[in-house]
Amino acid sequence: MLNVVLVEPEIPANTGNIGRTCVLTGSRLHLVGPLGFDLSHKAVQRAGLAYWDNLDVVVYKSWEEFVRTALNGSYEHVHLLTKVGERRYCDSSYNDGDWLVFGKESAGLSAALLDDHPMCCERIPMLGDDALANQDEWHRTFDELHPELERDICGNFVDRREGQITSLNLSNAVAIVVFEALRQLDFPHM
């Protein structure tokens, strides 16, 4: 079983889509707080997440609690998915039980975490990596720097002139990495 970890997720729809991917692939979802939304039974029902009862999900109050209780302090078999990793996600080897860790939508994983564990860092290559490298600047000046880009219905940034995706939303990024890991693990029906 793969472990998908979302650190401080902010957008409930992304977490819902990722939860659905986890149910379909038999992966466990770990949510590391603080969360940017409510996970009460009432909120889940209101969002129409009928599959949520079938989801193997664990919630942690903080990164420190997650590292202490889930990882037992060890970063072995941890994949930190980021835009700044040297190694591409598809060049990594995945094992049953690995931890696929994704940061929050607005900022990704913290620079301190990435700096402390460079050998765990992996990136999903995409167009526009150089232009999007500085997340703070990118969020402030995105429209000025890239007037040719629009957000599609899935939340991806698309150059309409080229039809190319330049940045993935969180749920798409998770799906890409989960399915590569499952492909390597000979997941049935792949």
The reported pLDDT for the residue numbered 169 is 79
Q: How do the residues of the chain divide into helix, strand and coil, expressed in percent and rounded to 5?
A: 35, 20, 45
Alpha-carbon gap, residue 9 to 190, rounded angstroms:
28
Q: Inform me whether the pLDDT recorded for 52 exceeds 70.
A: yes
Q: Mean pLDDT throughout 39-59?
A: 82
pLDDT digits (tens, 9 = 90+) for 128-174: 545 445 555 544 555 565 566 666 555 555 555 554 445 567 888 89
Q: Which of 5, 3, 2, 1 is nearest to 109 (CA)?
A: 5
CB atoms within 10 A of CB 178: 21
* Mean pLDDT of the residues in the chain: 82
What is the total residue count of the chain?
190
pLDDT digits (tens, 9 = 90+) for 93-103: 999 999 999 99
Going by the DSSP 8-state scheme, the letter that residue 86 receives in this structure is S
Question: How much of the chain, in percent, has pLDDT values that exceed 70?
Answer: 75
Assign residue 175 a region (left: φ > 0; alpha: ψ between -120 and 50; beta: otherwise).
alpha
The pTM of this model reads 0.80
Query: Tokens 């990495």 — which residue?
Result: 177
Q: Which of 25, 52, 15 is nearest to 190 (CA)?
A: 25
Q: Which domains does the chain have, with CATH numbers?
A: 3-124+169-184 (3.40.1280.10), 126-167 (no CATH)
